[in-house]
């Protein structure tokens, strides 16, 4: 293992210490726990809270900020945060309008967010759950409830965050979040494993010259392991699987997210997007907004994912709404 760190046991807390020191005007903590991240300035609105394991920056904490989320419970590397963390954050960010939980479809996260919601009920805090499940490789069509949540959760954060910031009601924000979820699909590919600092060795093996399509962000098995192919050949397979899963006709409009998994140069991500754009143009599918970069990583894993979000006029307006977090900024907030 070759990493820039001190004690592997302190990896998460020292990372959080650096983020908080760099961005005190935007991020703070609550209940005396450095792993309970909240916005420095509380807003009177429907609150949005996420959470999950470390090792995926900017997911999950990187989306706390203006126009996005209000709090994030941070777990250990690839480990769920506790229900107590989520509960303390819920109490901290609630302004009386309720709290919507947005998180990925992983058993530990589901259990702990549900426990937090039950505890919040005793404090008369209204909660609801939106569970991201955009990974088309993790379960067949018709069994979407079994799918993992990966980079496409960004679209739920973005649209629900915009709706909440503009003063939408609890039910309206929840509707928007579920709508974005239902219209988003993702698939990934990996060329190399990653190393959890406390483990000190790769979490799985991929031979030189091989790739795996459909691999999850924790190293969960994919659907195709094959010899390394050209960028265009890989993209053709991945986009094909997304378009087979969600109906898009000529004239449909989408947003595209090409996400690096941690060790893929941005130059390569743009080579990927070039082919995505060609495929969509061939099918007369319009592109409204493109995101290229690191949005949900897996430590130093080499690979990328492609997400498509099928838009309508409402989602387009919400996607265009300004936001500002320590990791991202779009437009100017009033």
Q: How do residues 143-196 score in pLDDT, each as one tens digit? A: 999 999 999 999 999 999 999 999 999 999 999 999 999 999 999 999 999 999
pLDDT for 334 equals 47
The 10s digit of each residue's pLDDT in 52-66 is 999 999 999 999 999
**List 56, 129, 145, 289, catalytic entry:** 56
Mean pLDDT of 303-310: 98
Mean pLDDT of 110-139: 98
Mean pLDDT of 287-300: 97
H-helix or E-strand spanning residue 99: strand 99-104
Provide CB contacts within 8 A for 271, sequence distance 6+: 231
Per-residue pLDDT band at 221 (split at 50, 70, 90)? confident
Q: Is the pLDDT reported for residue 1 higher than 90?
A: no
In 3D, which of 309, 5, 271, 276 has the Cα closest to residue 160?
309
Mean pLDDT over all residues of the chain? 96
pLDDT for 252 equals 98
CB atoms within 10 A of CB 207: 9
Q: Is the pLDDT reported for residue 332 higher than 80?
A: no
Mean pLDDT of 202-226: 91
In Å, how far are 211, 290, 321 from 137, measured between CA atoms?
15, 22, 30
**List 41, 129, 145, 218, catalytic entry:** 218
Mean pLDDT of 9-25: 98
pLDDT for 244 equals 97
Our answer to whether residue 218 is catalytic in this structure is yes
Answer left, alpha or beta for residue 264, where phi above 0 means left and psi between -120 and 50 means alpha: beta
């Amino acid at each position: 293992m070759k990493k820039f760190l001190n004690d592997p046991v302190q990896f998460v807390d020292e990372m959080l210490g650096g983020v908080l020191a760099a961005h005190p005007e935007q991020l703070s903590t609550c209940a005396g726990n450095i792993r309970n991240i909240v916005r420095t300035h509380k807003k009177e609105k429907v609150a949005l809270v996420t959470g999950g394991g470390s090792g995926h920056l900017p997911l999950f904490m990187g989306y706390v900020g203006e126009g996005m989320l209000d709090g994030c419970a941070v777990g250990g590397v690839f480990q769920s945060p506790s229900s107590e963390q989520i509960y303390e954050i819920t109490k901290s960010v609630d302004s009386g309008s309720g709290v919507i939980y947005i998180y990925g479809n992983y058993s530990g996260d589901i259990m702990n967010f549900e426990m937090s919601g039950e505890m919040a009920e005793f404090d008369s805090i209204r909660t609801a759950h939106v569970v991201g499940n955009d990974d088309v490789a993790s379960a067949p069509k018709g069994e979407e409830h079994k799918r993992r949540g990966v980079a496409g959760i960004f679209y739920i954060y973005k649209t629900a965050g915009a709706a909440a910031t503009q003063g939408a009601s609890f039910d309206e924000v929840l509707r928007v979040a579920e709508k974005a979820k239902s219209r988003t699909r993702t698939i990934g590919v990996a060329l190399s494993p990653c190393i959890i600092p406390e483990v000190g060795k790769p979490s799985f093996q991929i031979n030189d010259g091989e790739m795996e399509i459909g691999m999850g962000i924790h190293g969960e098995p994919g659907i195709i392991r094959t010899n390394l192919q050209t960028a265009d050949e890989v993209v053709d397979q991945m986009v094909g699987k997304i378009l087979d899963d969600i109906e898009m006709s000529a004239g449909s409009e989408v947003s595209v997210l090409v996400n690096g998994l941690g060790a893929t140069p941005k130059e390569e991500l743009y080579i990927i997007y070039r082919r995505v754009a060609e495929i969509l143009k061939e099918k007369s599918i319009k592109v409204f907004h493109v995101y290229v970069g690191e949005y949900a990583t897996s430590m130093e894993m080499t690979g990328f994912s492609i997400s498509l979000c099928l838009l309508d006029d409402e989602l387009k307006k919400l996607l265009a709404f300004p936001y500002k977090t320590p990791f991202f900024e779009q437009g100017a907030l009033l």
